[in-house]
Each structure stands twice: as C-alpha cells, then as structure tokens.
Amino acid sequence: MKKNILTAALALIVFAITSCSKDDRYSGMSDDGPINEQPDVLTPENARSYMVDASATAETVALFYNLKKLSKTKYLIGQQDAFASFYNNAGGDSDIKKATGSDPALLGSDFMFITDDQNDGTPANWFYQQEQMIINNVKEAYNKGMVNIFSWHLREPFEGETFYTSDMTDQQKQEAFASILPGGVNHDYYKAKLDKVASVLNNLKDNNNKLIPVIFRPFHEFDGNWFWWGTAYCTPAQYQQAWQFTVEYLRDTKNVHNVLYAFAPDNSYTTSNNYLSRYPGDDYIDILGMDNYGDFANGSSTGVTTANNKLKMLSDLAREKVKIAALTETGFRVTSGTSPITGFFTNNIYTAMTSNNVELAFVMFWNNDQSGYYVPPAGQSNTQDFVQFANKAESVLQNTVPDMYTLP
C-alpha cells in the first residue's frame, strides 16, 4: 500500500514539473533548477491586509492586487505627461500611440502645478488651467482602462519657487525639510498643500461617480541631493516622519482612500539594507520603486547588468514584503545633439527588467517635449526599437491592458 502511494506521489510530481511553462518567469523553474522565491500568499480576500489603507475603495484594492499579479508575467509601459507633452510640440495622439498605434498603459502626472502658490483656482489662472487639464487627462486614461501615477515636484516652502537645491540658498537647503515637519515653521504651509492634493483626489471621479484610484509617489529620488528632500538635507528619521505624516494626514484626516503609495529612491542603492535605510515602514508603502537613468546612460552591457542587479534586489524585497515592485522612472533623452543608444529598449531596458526572474509591475519613461524625447514617436531612427519592445510578450500597452479595477 505504501509503495502504491509513493508511486502515485512521484507520478504527480513528474506531471507537475513537466506541465510547467518553459518560461521561468511564469513557472518558478529555470533550466538550472528551482528558483528560490516566496510562496504566493496574496489573495483577493487578504489583499487589504498588505496595503497602506485598509479602507481603500474596492477599485484601489483591485489595482493593488492586479498590479502584483500582473508583475509575475508582464509589465505596464507608461510615460509621464503622455497626453500633454510631445516631441516637436506635435500634438494629437500620444507619441507612444503615434509609434505603436496604442496609448501607454500607464499615465504619469504631477501635482507640481496643482499645488503651486500661484494657483488661485480661477478659470483665467494658468496654473488652475493646468490643474483642469491634468484632471481631464487622468479621467481619460482611467476611462481607457489605464493606470494613473502622480509624482510631486513640490516647491520649497520659503519662496515657493523651486524644488531644485541648485536654486536655493544654503540656509533654505538646510532648513526647508525640517520646517514642514510637525512643529516646524512651515508645517501649516505643508498641510495646506496636502489639503489641495486631498481635494483633487477626493473629487477625482469617473462617469459613475466612483473614485479613480491613483498611485502617489512623493519625495522621490531622495537618495540624491538635487531636491530639497535629499539625504543631505534631512535625517532618515525626519524623512520617515514626513512620509508617515503625509500618509496619515491624507488617509486618516482627509479621508483619501483611492491611493497606492510608492516609495522611489534613485539608483544609488544596491542592497536591501541600504534601500530600506529611509523606508517609513510596510504600513506606509504599497509600491517599492526605483528611478534609474544613470545605469543606462552610456549604453554599456555593464550598466544593464548593474541595473538588473538592483531591480532583482527590489523585486526580491517586494516578494518578501508582499508589495509591488516597479521601475518608476527611466529613459534616455534623445535630442538633435544626442543620438539614440542602439537597442536601448529591446535589449538594455528589456534585459534589465526581465533577467534573473525580476518581477516589475510597470516601467515609466519620462516626458517628451519640444526639443527631445524619451520615447520616440513615429519616424525616428529608433522608433522600431521601441515598437519591438512594446511588442514583447511581457509588454502591456493600453490596447492590451487587462481589467485592473476589478478583483477576480
């Protein structure tokens, strides 16, 4: 009897192994043997327990769950300001649609103009006009089944004119971040900015009066010092305090429940311990991101390997924490004086994102503008490189995006 049971068990094991897909991103197996990965514990029923907001709307919970599941086999392709910024100011369809026939699956927006001191909320005001355009673009993206993500290039709180430390005085650089913390001289100023963010998010509704989920990525690239929230201008504890206050104020005080929160340093971190050195905690983060331009800048295979190693660290950390991993910003800007990198999309970006069983939910390319592009529209020397990347089995544009807002 025991022999029969053992024989049956072995047969089941053989069947399971031979039935697995040959794609190791799907099967958890590779030609070299089993891949060491965490068991898949996320279910539609327990998704809220892994999220920042246990009271998130049903659509926001579905977005979290579906992004996590999608990352096991595919990634969304996105671009910042895709509906508003175009190479050579050639309006109309997004530049990605001009190249591929489809819009991106992810639209990047910014709260920068929305929270600007000069936005007085009147129809003739340029900043208010930008606010309305951004809101309309977000709604259009959502109606197309796309995902929306907001960054926030928040102006410094003294003059309200810049977010770059290169434009600030030494005193402003040293005092700005601490001043927005509870008890700081600019804390009320910061709360007023969060009030504006909350107002936009709480009124961001679809045609059925349902709140539109968004990803929010504040205080990004903090491991550099080009922004006033960089490592030289605040301690790890101060950074964590600001992040925790931001989440609690939006979620608990302003009752914002349609947000996934994304943590996104630049590319300086190579180990999980370093990556988590300013991490505010699992209770405050839904998405583990990384911005990375530098490793791709010279087109070298060494840079691609370095980028892949960092994304592998990120992906493994997201598996461990049951969070979502993403390449939250990247690209190489082509101008009249800067030629494209051969195979930048089909080889460099694709390899960094997919080798070594990396699981990323999305990649965000930065915006095109009059004088340069990160994603080529039709007619450029590297357009076909991007089209081939977009046609990869793992790539998702708007025309193939699954339902991201309904739980299975």
Amino acid at 201: L
Q: Indicate the average pLDDT of the chain.
A: 92
Residues 5, 132 share a domain: no
Residue 406 covered by a domain: no
Do the domain assignments include residue 309? yes
Are both 22 and 165 inside the same structural domain? no
Q: What is the pLDDT of residue 6?
A: 35
Q: Same domain, yes or no, for 159 and 270?
A: yes
Residue 184 shares a structural domain with residue 269: yes
- Domain residues for the domain of 24 are 1-36
| Helix 170-180 / helix 187-202 crossing angle, nearest 10 deg | 60
Instruction: Please tell me whether residues 23 and 152 are part of one structural domain.
Output: no
The structural domain count of the chain equals: 2
Ranges of the chain with pLDDT below 70: 1-39
The DSSP line for 257-303 is -SEEEEE---S---SHHHHGGG---GGG-SEEEEEESGGGTT--HHH
Q: pLDDT by residue (tens digit) across 279-329?
A: 999 999 999 999 999 999 999 999 999 999 999 999 999 999 999 999 999
CA-based torsion, 373, 374, 379, 382: positive or negative: positive
Q: Is 48 part of a structural domain of the chain? A: yes
Domain CATH code at residue 93: 3.20.20.80
Q: Is residue 172 part of a domain?
A: yes
Domain match, 155 and 197 both: yes
What's the pTM value of the predicted model, to 2 decimals?
0.91
Which of 140, 329, 359, 394 is flagged as catalytic? 329
Is residue 382 situated within a structural domain? yes
CA dist 132 and 170 (Å) reads 35
Flag whether 408 is in a domain: no
> pLDDT tens across 89-116, in order?
999 999 999 999 999 999 999 999 999 9
Q: Hey, is 33 helix, strand or coil?
A: strand
Q: Can you tell me whether residue 149 is helix, strand or coil?
A: strand
Residue labelled with tokens 């927005």: 180
In this structure, the answer to whether residues 89 and 25 fall within a common structural domain is: no
Q: Could you tell me which residues come within 8 angstroms of residue 145 by beta carbon, excluding any fewer than 6 positions away?
A: 398, 401, 403, 404, 405
User: Residues 20, 83: one domain?
Assistant: no
131 catalytically annotated = no
In this structure, the answer to whether residues 66 and 2 fall within a common structural domain is no
Q: Name the active-site residue from 140, 221, 320, 359.
A: 221
Contact 67, 318 (CB under 8 A): no
How far is it, in rounded angstroms, from Cα 136 to Cα 111? 14
**Predicted pLDDT of residue 40:** 79
183/149 same-domain check: yes
Is residue 167 included in any domain, yes or no? yes
Active site annotation includes 221: yes
Do 284 and 190 lie in one domain? The reply is: yes
DSSP element (H, E) containing 99: helix 95-100
- For 356-383, the pLDDT digits (tens) are 999 999 999 999 999 999 999 999 999 9
Same domain as 67, residue 11: no
Residue 105's closest CA among 326, 380, 330, 363?
Answer: 363
Q: Is residue 290 part of a domain?
A: yes
